[in-house]
Amino acid sequence: MSTEPQTSIITCSNAPDMPPPAGHYSHVCVANVFVFVSGQLPIDTTGKPLSDEPFETQVDQVLRNVDACLNAAGTTRDRLVQIRVFVSDIEHWPVFNKLYAEWIGTHRPARAVAQSTSLHYGAAVEVEGVALVTTV
């Protein structure tokens, strides 16, 4: 019996309509029935960080990036199981919650929020998540 991990059941990729990651990671990885979305920052399709934009604009871009990652893995936001949110100031939480509720609709995945005063590029928000593949 082999003790080697079975990596053939893990596939990692990048969303085709997003710039490639700046670091050593993938936008999204699928392992068996789970889809893992890396932390998404407010970076537009050209690779420009939107850290100087209003909070609402940053949230909109982050959620678009999450959608792009889910689409790249062949799934959608209604298959999300868990979302983790990092905000630079907890005072942003009510605004994020409103925009998130509009984005997610009636679906209610498990969620966590944490204040992180230092996000990459000086961003005000970052979101990562876990979803299920569309078909098993």
Closest CA to 83 of 95, 101, 57: 101
Give me the number of domains the chain comprises.
Answer: 1
Please indicate, yes or no, if residue 3 is contained in any of the structural domains. no
Query: pLDDT per residue over 41-69, tens digit each?
Result: 999 999 999 999 999 999 999 999 999 99
CATH number, domain with residue 81 = 3.30.1330.40
103 in a structural domain: yes
- The answer to whether position 30 is within a domain reads yes
* pLDDT for position 2: 44
In a domain, 125, yes or no: yes
Compute the radius of gyration of the chain from its Cα atoms: 15
Number of other residues whose CB lies within 10 A of the CB of residue 8 = 6
Any domain includes 124:
yes
Portion of the chain with pLDDT greater than 70, in percent = 93
Domain assignment present for 36: yes
For the chain, the average pLDDT equals 93
94 lies in which domain range? 13-132
Report the alpha-carbon distance of residue 43 to residue 65 in Å, rounded.
Answer: 8
Query: DSSP strand E in the chain: where?
Result: 10-13, 28-31, 34-40, 80-87, 110-115, 125-132
Phi, psi of 28 (to 5 degrees): -150, 145
Evaluate whether residue 7 is within a structural domain: no
Residue 1 lies in a domain: no
pTM of the entire structure?
0.91
